Structure 1
Amino acid sequence: MKPFYATGILLLLLTSVCSAQDAPQAAPQDALVKITRSGSQPPEIGIPDYYAGTVRKEALFDADEPSRVVGGVVTYEPGSRTAWHIHPLGQVLIISAGVGLVQQWGQPVQEVREGDIIWIPAGVKHWHGATDNSRMRHVAITEALDGKSVEWLEKVDQQDG
């Protein structure tokens, strides 16, 4: 197992534990372990209102009550990126391939590489995507608040990144 996968699993577990503070301590007796087989979720192309360039999204898991944690893998072709957006309860990105960029509103653009882990605090306006000459893939772990995990804002100006 590669170190960043182990780190990602640890972060997922910590995120689940931390987000479920008000959840029951024990699962119902009829609860079942759920396995989602690799490749069983068809990828979707990112909606042009929220992404520039070619972006493929693959859902990994959705939150089942009382959990609020959702996860997916997003692959950005060179030069593609998200629009500005915020997450009501924050987000963790684990860069699993390539070289990318991330920018918080009012801060400089930062380069990220395979193995890097990015924590985006709740309510922080930001964008992320690939560099002009490299693909970038990340695992995204996000908590939903009242069923909503993201608020999309305006597209990124060329001068922003």
Structure 2
Amino acid sequence: MFKILNVLSIIIIMSVACSNNAGNGENNYPAPPSETSLIVNGSGQKSKGSEEYFTGNVEVEAIIPPNSSSHFSIAYVTFQPRARSAWHTHPAGQHLIVLEGIGLTQEEGKPIQEFRAGDVLYCPPNVKHWHGASPNSYMKHAAITGVSNGSGVTWMEKVTDEEYNDR
């Protein structure tokens, strides 16, 4: 767990540094907290993953929204076995840190890859992909999603069973 927290800290620091240097002068984000804040495990805003964007049982726990100094959000996402996202892209990229279980991901036109607890997945900006749980294991990841022009994701069509099973 210490290794995962170190990786998370490095990614957050890198994301803040990149977002602070990429400004275009326009900023519609809320101000960041004025003091150190602690978010207690399990206290994020939990919701069921929308059936429009996910197949299967998915829980999304929103942890941190973007703000004027950190142009990214953080959420925990838990996929039950065989659950997955729809195809999508991220205009400012996304980092996934797998906390528990076994997951699958696929970039359009490439083979499906398996990833496990402790692995970190980087999804480059505007690259079409999906991710979710393996057929026999749930998967929970921390998603650090860059935000550009107020958007962190562009959703597309659902991943079919044939695409999911194409391994």
Do the two structures share a fold, i.e. TM-score over 0.5? Answer: yes
Could you say which residue in structure 1 is the equivalent of 2:106?
Answer: 103
Q: What's 1:59 paired with?
A: 62
State the SS of the aligned residue for 1:16: helix
Q: 1:98-136: CA deviations, max 9, x gaps?
A: 001000000000000011101110000000000111000
The answer on 1:114 being equivalent to 2:100 is no
Letter paired with 2:21: Q
2:45 aligned partner:
42
1:6-21 correspondence runs (5 A): 6-21=6-21
SS, match of residue 107 in structure 1: coil
1:6 CA drift (Å): 1.2
* Pairwise CA distance, 1:22: 4.6
Q: Which runs of 5+ in 2 are unaligned?
A: 26-30
State how far apart, in whole Å, the 2-side matches of 1:3 and 1:94 are: 11
* 1:15 counterpart letter in structure 2: S
SS in 1 for 2:34: coil
Which stretch of the first structure deviates more once superposed, 35-44 or 116-125?
Answer: 35-44
Match of 1:136 among 134, 139, 143: 139
Provide the aligned length of Structure 1 versus Structure 2: 157
The unaligned stretches of length 5 or more in structure 1 are none
Shift of 1:73: 0.4
Q: Does residue 152 in structure 1 map to residue 161 in structure 2? A: no
Q: SS of the residue aligned with 2:162?
A: coil
Q: Which runs of 4+ in 1 moved over 4 A?
A: none
